[in-house]
């Protein structure tokens, strides 16, 4: 029996972009609980932007089987949410008179070079555990900058993923095209 026209979908936990987004969410929850006033509207907005980044990757991946358009749209929503969060961290640093690390600074290079630790329970390239000491055992400025590095990495990965999804859509089409091909193949099979 031939496979159906709905391809395998999901698998978002294996996406590096999702793994980074999950680490960003966990880091943001910690950062906001430690450094942002609980009564501040910014606190809720930052946590929600981080959550949106993570959740839209998961939702887009699950929708991919039936709607490539929805998958691409939700990956773009995730990207936009992480960009909003990036600006929130930049604002935090600016308003508090703290420096933003240059992308080539030793500190930023150190964050970019981090690999999962042997005791990291996830098979991921970037669970929160991997970055915990760079978020929790440092100043607010260093934590915000470390999270900025993670957001830049996630955004880069999402930009690449979105380009790949667009190219695949142009090459393969979406559900309607697969359905039509499956119907035509079934009609053309010998009885």
Q: Which DSSP helix (H) or strand (E) runs through 158?
A: helix 140-172
* DSSP type of residue 12: G
Distance CA 80, CA 41 (A): 19
In SS3 terms, 78-125 reads as HHHHHHHHHHHHHHHHHHCCCCCCCCCCHHHHHHHHCCCCCCCCCCCC
- Residue range 96-110: average pLDDT? 96
Residues 6+ apart with CB under 8 A from 16: 124, 125, 126, 157
What's the mean pLDDT in 146-163? 97
| Residue 118 pLDDT exceeds 60 | no
The CA distance from 175 to 92, in Å, is 44
Per-residue confidence (pLDDT) for residue 1, from 0 to 100: 35
pLDDT confidence of residue 174: 60
* Residue whose entry in the numeric block shows the structure tokens 């979406």: 174
Name every residue whose Cβ is closer than 8 Å to that of residue 104 and which is 6 or more positions away in sequence: none
pLDDT > 80? residue 122: no
Compute the average pLDDT of residues 72-91.
Answer: 97
Give the pLDDT confidence score for residue 171 in this predicted structure. Answer: 73
Q: Collect all residues with Cβ–Cβ distance below 8 Å to 38 and sequence separation of at least 6.
A: none
Mean pLDDT of the chain: 87
Contact by Cβ (8 Å): 15, 53: no
How high is the pLDDT of residue 53? 97
Q: Where are the domains of the chain?
A: 12-116+123-181
pLDDT at 119 over 50: no
Average pLDDT over residues 65-87: 92
């Amino acid at each position: 029996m031939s496979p159906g026209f709905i391809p395998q979908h999901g698998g978002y936990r294996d996406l590096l972009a999702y793994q980074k987004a999950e680490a960003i969410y966990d880091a943001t929850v910690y950062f906001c609980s430690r450094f942002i006033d609980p009564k501040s509207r910014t606190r809720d907005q930052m946590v929600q932007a981080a959550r949106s980044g993570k959740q839209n990757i998961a939702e887009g991946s699950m929708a991919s089987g039936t709607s490539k358009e929805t998958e691409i749209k939700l990956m773009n929503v995730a990207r936009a949410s992480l960009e909003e969060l990036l600006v929130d961290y930049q604002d935090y640093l600016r308003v508090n008179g703290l420096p933003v690390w240059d992308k080539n600074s030793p500190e930023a290079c150190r964050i970019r070079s981090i690999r999962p630790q042997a005791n990291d329970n996830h098979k991921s390239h970037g669970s929160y555990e991997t970055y915990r000491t760079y978020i929790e055992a440092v100043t607010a400025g260093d934590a915000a900058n470390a999270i900025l590095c993670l957001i830049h990495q996630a955004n880069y990965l999402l930009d690449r993923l979105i380009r790949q999804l667009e190219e695949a859509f142009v090459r393969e089409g979406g559900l309607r095209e697969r359905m039509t091909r499956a119907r035509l193949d079934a009609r053309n099979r010998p009885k």
